[in-house]
Amino acid sequence: MKVDEQQKRAAREFVARWTFRRGSEKGEDQQFWNDLLGTVLGAADIVSRVQYQVPVPLKGATGFLDAWIPETRVLIEHKSRGIDLDAPQAGHGGLTPYGQAAAYDNARPYGEKARWIVTCNFDTFQIYDRTRPLAAPFVLRLADLPKELYRLAFLVDPKEKSVAREREISVQAGRIVAELYDALLKRYAAADSAALAALNRLCVRLVFCLYAEDAGVFPKNVLKRLLAVTPADFLRTRLVQLFQTLDTPAERRGVYLEPELAAFPYTNGGLFRGASESEVPPLTEEIRQLLLKACTFDWRGITPTIFGALFESTLNPATRRAGGMVYTSVENIHKVIDPLFLNVLTRRVDAALAAGAATAKARRTLDALQDELASLTFLDPACGSGNFLTETYLSLRRLENRLIAARQNGQGELDLGQSVRVTLAQFHGIEINDFAVAVAKTALWIAEAQMQEETARILHREPEYLPLRDQAGITEGDALRVDWPRTDYIMGNPPFVGRMQKSREQQTEIAQFFAYRDIDYVACWYAKASDLIQGTRTHCAFVSTNSITQGEQVAPLWKRLAVTIDFAWRTFCWDSESFEKAHVHVVVIGFHAKGTPGDASPRTIYDGDRVLPAQNINGYLLDAPDIAVSPRPRPLCNVPRLIMGNMPLDGGALIIEESERADFLAKEPGAAPFLKRLVGSKELINNLPRWCLWLKDVPPDKIRALPLVMSRVAKCRENRLASRAADTRKHAATPALFRETNNPK
pLDDT reported for residue 413:
54
642: in domain: no
Examine the domain organization and report whether 391 and 292 are in the same domain: no
pLDDT reported for residue 89:
81
Q: Quick one: DSSP state of residue 653?
A: T
pTM of the entire predicted model: 0.70
Among residues 554, 581, 614, which one ends one of the domains? Answer: 614
pLDDT above 70: residue 416: no
Examine the domain organization and report whether 567 and 714 are in the same domain: no
pLDDT reported for residue 216:
79
Lowest mean pLDDT among 48-52, 384-388, 453-457, 519-523: 453-457
Q: Determine the structural domain holding residue 521 and report its residue range.
A: 362-614
Cα–Cα distances in Å, from 623 out to 383, 566, 578, 603, 619? 31, 11, 35, 9, 10
For the segment 243-252, the average pLDDT, to the nearest whole number, is 90
Among residues 131, 160, 189, which one ends one of the domains? Answer: 160
Among residues 107, 129, 160, which one ends one of the domains? Answer: 160
Distance, CA of 630 to CA of 271 (rounded, Å): 51
315: in domain: no
Read off the pLDDT of residues 34-71 as tens digits, 9 standing for 90 and up: 999 989 988 877 777 888 888 888 777 778 889 999 88
Examine the domain organization and report whether 124 and 172 are in the same domain: no
Examine the domain organization and report whether 298 and 401 are in the same domain: no
Examine the domain organization and report whether 155 and 171 are in the same domain: no
| Confidence label for 168 from pLDDT (cuts 50, 70 and 90) | low
Instruction: Name which of 185, 286, 181, 285 is nearest 233 in CA terms.
Output: 285
Distance, CA of 347 to CA of 82 (rounded, Å): 7
357: in domain: no
For the segment 581-604, the average pLDDT, to the nearest whole number, is 81
340: in domain: no
Read off the pLDDT of residues 77-86 as tens digits, 9 standing for 90 and up: 999 988 889 8
For the segment 519-540, the average pLDDT, to the nearest whole number, is 94
Examine the domain organization and report whether 699 and 566 are in the same domain: no
374: in domain: yes
| Confidence label for 676 from pLDDT (cuts 50, 70 and 90) | very high
Pairing of strands 610-614, 378-380: unpaired
For the segment 246-258, the average pLDDT, to the nearest whole number, is 89
pLDDT above 70: residue 295: yes
620: in domain: no
Q: Which residue has the higher pLDDT, 597 or 427?
A: 427
Examine the domain organization and report whether 218 and 130 are in the same domain: no
Instruction: Name which of 128, 99, 100, 121 is nearest 25 in CA terms.
Output: 121
| Confidence label for 644 from pLDDT (cuts 50, 70 and 90) | confident
Examine the domain organization and report whether 269 and 386 are in the same domain: no
pLDDT reported for residue 744:
65
Read off the pLDDT of residues 397-407 as tens digits, 9 standing for 90 and up: 989 988 888 87
Examine the domain organization and report whether 459 and 561 are in the same domain: yes
Count of structural domains within the chain: 4
Read off the pLDDT of residues 4-23 as tens digits, 9 standing for 90 and up: 678 888 999 999 899 887 77
pLDDT reported for residue 502:
66
For the segment 424-450, the average pLDDT, to the nearest whole number, is 85
Examine the domain organization and report whether 569 and 667 are in the same domain: no
238: in domain: yes
- Collect all residues with Cβ–Cβ distance below 8 Å to 449 and sequence separation of at least 6: 212, 215, 217, 463, 465
Examine the domain organization and report whether 566 and 598 are in the same domain: yes
Lowest mean pLDDT among 187-201, 314-328, 443-457, 551-565: 314-328
pLDDT above 50: residue 636: yes
355: in domain: no
Angle at 136 between CA 133 and CA 141, to 5 degrees: 130
For the segment 584-607, the average pLDDT, to the nearest whole number, is 86
CATH number where 433 lies: 3.40.50.150
Q: Which residue has the higher pLDDT, 333 or 471?
A: 333
Ranges of H-type helices in 515-579: 523-533, 554-560
For the segment 656-666, the average pLDDT, to the nearest whole number, is 93
Dihedral angle over CA of 81, 85, 89, 91, nearest 10: 50
The string of DSSP codes covering 343-408 is HHHHHHHHHHHHT-SSSHHHHHHHHHHHHHHHH--EEETT-TTSHHHHHHHHHHHHHHHHHHHHHH
What percentage of the chain carries pLDDT values higher than 90? 39
Read off the pLDDT of residues 727-736 as tens digits, 9 standing for 90 and up: 888 999 999 9
- Average pLDDT in the chain: 84
pLDDT above 90: residue 198: no
Examine the domain organization and report whether 660 and 538 are in the same domain: no
